[in-house]
Amino acid sequence: MITTALARSLRDAGLRWHPATGDRFVIDKPGVDDDVYTVSEMTVERHDYPSGTVLGFNGTTEWALDSVSASESLWLPREDQLRELLGPAFESLSAGFTVVATIDGHSRSFTSEDAADAYGQALLAYITAALA
């Protein structure tokens, strides 16, 4: 998973988020940005009782957070999302988590201890170069 610092840099560089099922995010406020949340559909659970079957809708959080605006949230894109966003600039991912991408017509390498972080670094360089 990418760091919140890299996620902020991507957002500040122009990456926009359109929340979808499976997306991870943090609330972008000091003191509450340690908890990672996942956008998910409400789960429907089957409960069989002697009186019949009940479909239980589960979707509440453990605490009383009713809602948060997307602007107060910070998207933590997954590895597959970052690779997709890199698009045709992506060349390869090698052992040691080195992503090679074509940026401004040149192959550049981005290495990290985490593949998602390497993809994020490459995407940040790609966005920055595209907007320069």
Q: What is the pLDDT of residues 84-121, one digit of tens each?
A: 999 999 999 998 899 999 999 999 999 999 999 999 99
pLDDT band of residue 17 (cuts 50, 70, 90) is confident
Residue 119 DSSP SS3: helix
pTM over 0.85: no
Which two three-digit tokens encode residue 92?
Answer: 């390869």
CA 14 and chain centroid, separation: 15
Residue 73 CA to residue 9 CA, distance in Å, equals 14
